[in-house]
Amino acid sequence: MTKQRSKRPVPYCKSTWSPRQRLDYYSTPDPLSGCHIWHGPSVNGGYGHLRYHGQKWLAHRLAWTLKHGPIPDGMILCHRCDERRCCNPDHLFLGTRGDNMADLKAKRLARSDARAGIGDRDGATIRIIYRGVELVGEVQVLAVDPRVGTRVKKIA
């Protein structure tokens, strides 16, 4: 009887793999949010962690460096999506610690406003916040006859 191999057959990357191969191995793109969710080892409260040529890297910092180059001194990476496990460089931006705190405060305020219904002029607007991405749309409620599966009338 042969043993089935899992998607990730070994807990560690091969030493010959490039940084991009390592990031791809340990992360999975989420089709809804666009986040690249890290499934490998983590540190610091959920940030992805890996080693490359004896150097320790946080996964999102390595992804940024591969796409945009080194992170300037005095700057940090901020997540637009607020998902610590995300290592998609398109969801990251450079900022200071103050910028990061201001961004966090603005997002918390927006979430509390959304929960309280502030800014909704009518009851037909729906707002969904998923991993820091806000989806806003109009809702149309219809009555459906279950026997025929067709629309009967619009409900105001």
| 155 Ramachandran zone, left/alpha/beta (phi>0; psi -120 to 50) | beta
- The answer to whether 85 touches 42, Cβ cutoff 8 Å, is yes
- The answer to whether 144 touches 154, Cβ cutoff 8 Å, is no
53 assigned to some structural domain = yes
7 assigned to some structural domain = no
- Better-predicted residue by pLDDT, 137 or 93: 93
Q: What are phi and psi of 50, to 5 degrees?
A: -155, 165
The CATH number of the domain holding residue 28 is 3.90.75
Alpha carbon distance 1, 4 (integer Å): 9
- Better-predicted residue by pLDDT, 21 or 121: 21
Which of helix, strand or coil describes residue 107?
helix
pLDDT in tens, 45-56: 889 998 888 889
pLDDT in tens, 61-71: 999 999 999 99
Going by the DSSP 8-state scheme, the letter that residue 47 receives in this structure is E
- The answer to whether 91 touches 133, Cβ cutoff 8 Å, is no
Question: What average pLDDT score do residues 15-28 get?
Answer: 90
- The answer to whether 107 touches 99, Cβ cutoff 8 Å, is no
Confidence of residue 41 (pLDDT cuts 50, 70, 90): confident
Q: pTM for the full model?
A: 0.65
pLDDT for 108 equals: 83
Amino acid letter for position 68: H
Question: What average pLDDT score do residues 79-88 get?
Answer: 90
Percent of the chain with pLDDT over 70: 74
34 assigned to some structural domain = yes
143 assigned to some structural domain = no
Is the per-residue pLDDT at 43 higher than 60? yes
150 assigned to some structural domain = no
Q: What is the Cα Rg of the chain in Å? A: 22
105 assigned to some structural domain = yes
What total of structural domains would you count in the chain? 1
3 assigned to some structural domain = no
Alpha carbon distance 54, 27 (integer Å): 21
pLDDT in tens, 99-153: 999 988 888 887 776 666 655 444 567 777 777 777 777 766 666 666 665 555 5
pLDDT for 133 equals: 75
Question: What's the domain range around 55?
Answer: 19-116
66 assigned to some structural domain = yes
Is the per-residue pLDDT at 37 higher than 60? yes
